[in-house]
Structure 1
Amino acid sequence: MKKQDKSISLRQAEIASQFVSELDKHLDELVSGQVETAYEINEFADLLFINPNHLSDTIKDVLGKSPCAVYEEKLAIISKDLIVNTNKPISEIARILDYDPSNFTKFFKRFTGKTPKEFRNENHSG
Structure 2
Amino acid sequence: MVLKPGHIISQCKESHDFEGFFIVVHEDKLNEILPSLHFVAPYTLHYNSNPIIEMTAEELESQYLIYEMLQKQIRLEGRPFNKLTLGASCELLFYNTLSIYASRSEDRSHHSRREELLANFIDLIETHFKSERAVNFYADKLFVTPKHLSAVLKEISGKTAGEWIDHRVILEAKLMLRSTGMNIQEISLALNFSNQSFFGKYFKHLTGMSPRDYRNKLSEN
TM-score (norm 2): 0.45
Matched AA of 1:121:
N
Structure 1 CA distance, aligned partners of 2:132 and 2:140?
14
Question: Greater relative contact order (Cα 8 A, min sep 6): structure 1 or 2?
Answer: 1
1:107 aligned onto 2:202: yes
Matched AA of 2:126:
D
Contact 2:133 2:166 in 1 (8 A): no
Contact 1:83 1:124 in 2 (8 A): no
Map Cα deviations across residues 72-115 of structure 1 (whole Å, 9 max, x no partner).
Answer: 11111110110111111101111211223112111212233221
1:16–1:81 Cα change, 3 Å: same
Task: Return 5+ residue gaps in structure 2 as ranges.
Answer: 1-110
TM-score (norm 1): 0.76
Paired residue for 1:56, among 121, 125, 150?
150
Structure 1 CA distance, aligned partners of 2:182 and 2:133?
23
Structure 1 CA distance, aligned partners of 2:184 and 2:165?
20
1:39–1:109 Cα change, 3 Å: closer
Map Cα deviations across residues 23-44 of structure 1 (whole Å, 9 max, x no partner).
Answer: 11223xx3xxxxxx32421111
Matched AA of 1:105:
G
Other-structure match for 1:17: 119
Other-structure match for 2:103: none
Other-structure match for 1:4: none
Runs of 4+ in 1 over 6 A off after TM superposition: none
Q: Which structure has the bigger radius of gyration? A: 2
Contact 2:188 2:196 in 1 (8 A): yes
Structure 1 CA distance, aligned partners of 2:203 and 2:138?
23
Other-structure match for 1:6: none
Contact 2:177 2:211 in 1 (8 A): yes
RMSD after superposition: 1.9
Contact 2:133 2:165 in 1 (8 A): no
Task: Return 5+ residue gaps in structure 1 as ranges.
Answer: 1-8, 31-36
Contact 1:38 1:97 in 2 (8 A): no
Structure 1 CA distance, aligned partners of 2:204 and 2:145?
32
Map Cα deviations across residues 22-68 of structure 1 (whole Å, 9 max, x no partner).
Answer: 111223xx3xxxxxx32421111111122222112111111112111
Contact 2:188 2:199 in 1 (8 A): yes
1:69 aligned onto 2:163: yes
1:122 aligned onto 2:217: yes
Whichever structure has more helix as a proportion of its residues is 1
